[in-house]
Structure 1
Amino acid sequence: MKKSELATPAGIDHDYNFLSGIERDLEKADKSVAERGLDVGLNTRPKGDQSQKMDWQFSAAGIKVFRAPKGMSRAKENKTHRSKSGNKNIIWTVEWIGTDKSRTLSQSSAAEPVYRIHPLFESPTSKKKRKREVEAAPTLNSGPLEVTAEPTAPRIASSETNSNIEARETASSGSKAQSHEDVASGDPLESHPDPASTGISTENRYTFFLLRPRTSSNRRVLIPLTSTDTLGDALRGQTVEEFPTVYYFPAATTDLPPEFMLDEEYRKEEGEQQREFEELMKDVDPEILRRLKDDGSRSRGDEEVDSKRILDVLKQDLGGL
């Protein structure tokens, strides 16, 4: 609209209609929130790129996420996103590492229990289907079974796409199903006993531990997880690097391998080291501490001066072009 037309009746009508449209959109949004019971806090996220939106989502869920440098493999592997269904759950990329160092990536809903999103979890439906396939296999060939020299590929847990995960989230809360998508190979199912044959319930078949990133220890620090907790509850208050790394061990494992330590033990060691440091600092001459502080301040000041000089030189060079 031209500037000369702003003060005319047509211009006023145009502005009025524009403002009225905004008000109607706001009223519709408020009504939608009230009727559908949406979480306003999760839907009023700040604008920005996808990583900024997800960082805000993580903060709302009580999870701290360290970002890996762009281009690193861990950053490329991270497919964590927000569910498109009404409940707006986080669909996490989860790294699973077994006792044999096998590594599996899955896409897992934050609303599912930890044991159900485990790559080796087999739902009752899948188990019955596999049993039927095994029983029907001999009838498919009239002749004797042939033994081939080529090894068969290892089986991995049944996979589901993101759309299947999100479609199931819209169903009633009473119908729970497995929600993960394997994107890398894991342990062969044949190498693990069936829960029914061992007498161990599915949720107690393994013990799960979350890896604590960026510690000062040369051992991997593990945080115990409750298998029946949802992934979202298990991660609340924790820190991950790009996405969670979960180690799993057979339930019969009594002691962790030597390259691991529990978070409780790590915190205890950290506390002891901090106390030793504080005791040492008590014996240091305050004058020495003051000099060290002054030297540090002077060094930072020199760096700032050098930076300013470099900037001035660059400005002069650019001005001469």
Structure 2
Amino acid sequence: MSSSQEDSLLTDLCTICHLQPPKYRCPRCNTRTCSLPCTRRHKLWSQCSGVRDPAAYLRRSELATATAFDRDFNFITGIERSIERAGRDAENRGIRVGGGGGGGAGGKRKRGAAVAFAGAAGPAKRESGFLREVRNAGVKVIRAPRGMSRNKENGSRWFAKQQCLVWTVEWIGETGEKRTRNCRDSVPIAISYDRAFPLSREEREKEKEQEQTQTQTQTQNQEQGEDQGQAQQQELPSSTTENVTQQPEDIPSVITATTESSTTAESTAPLTRTDKPHPPTTTSSEQEETHAILPHRNVYFYLHRPRTATKQPVLIPLAPSMTLTAALRGHTVLEFPTIYVLPDSPDALRAQGADARYLLEDEYIRTHAPVDEDSASPTESEVDQPAPAGIDLGNVDENKVLEVLKKDLFEPTTLM
């Protein structure tokens, strides 16, 4: 009896140390252990991985349990995660995963190949939509080779639901500090800059104080202007009554004169009335004022022009009130736009001369860019040639010309 009791006690203890009752069970071989050192010894002695074997045999009674269902579910989700992870790694490395035709027996494609092909076709579809909208916006995008850092950093895309382009914008400061942020195309450059480089609390308080002082001065100026206008209105009625009392007899003559002048103006210049409904030409100046190149937070914005023939960066001045769509229209970017943030104005950059760190686009075009042959500007020969109606006859004697004409007209002609 004693031996049977000892045997039963040994089976109830840890299979490694035989000192304490077991707490853990190996998922692969069901070996029971009491602690972490015992599990390590078990893996070392038995060469066991400790990972459950999904192909291990199970009885029918064991299959119809919640634990077996959880095992199968975890096994399937683990396969899907590994496929998605492989697809992301291939995309980050610039490896194009191509899904061929029918693979396997009977022309059936494997599930892994289908998922890999769908993962490869998704970015291509998004990229085609983005390039189409960029082309419609008038922007030329130069694509960097796949796998390069510039290509990896590019997160620009087209959002069909919001109907907007989101650009990845690289901001470069005077000291060379770089920040990459995503900006919507309809947002002004100044607001995008404020989001990329937010103000500190002290700077915000200073701006609030400046705004308050400006509003106070504006209200004071308005009140002063209103007081002056009221005083002028009070003075005007007295002066007008004096003029009316002094010259009562001149009013009919003045009225008749004005009516006659108005009728003559209507009869002589009827076209002037048709020109009045057209809007005034001041709208262009107002647009220029809204998009004037002014400093924002004591800095100026410049768009970088890529792939130039100079070592100096070629910059295009931008107005803070311009949106990204207006700023990029008609220009070229390398994957995504790069905007320089400098404290110098365009005039200051031009004044630096040959020692300047940066070169403006107009100077670059004037000094480096070739002139197109099909341009609409007139050539030197066309400019130098005078008009046929303006022939200079200063050196011709008029008397000689008259004599020649008289001889041709009045001399008798001899008939042969």
Query: TM (normalized to structure 1)?
Result: 0.44
Query: TM (normalized to structure 2)?
Result: 0.34
| Highest RCO, 1 vs 2 (Cα 8 Å, sep ≥ 6) | 1
- Structure holding more helix per residue: 2
User: Which has the greater radius of gyration?
Assistant: 2
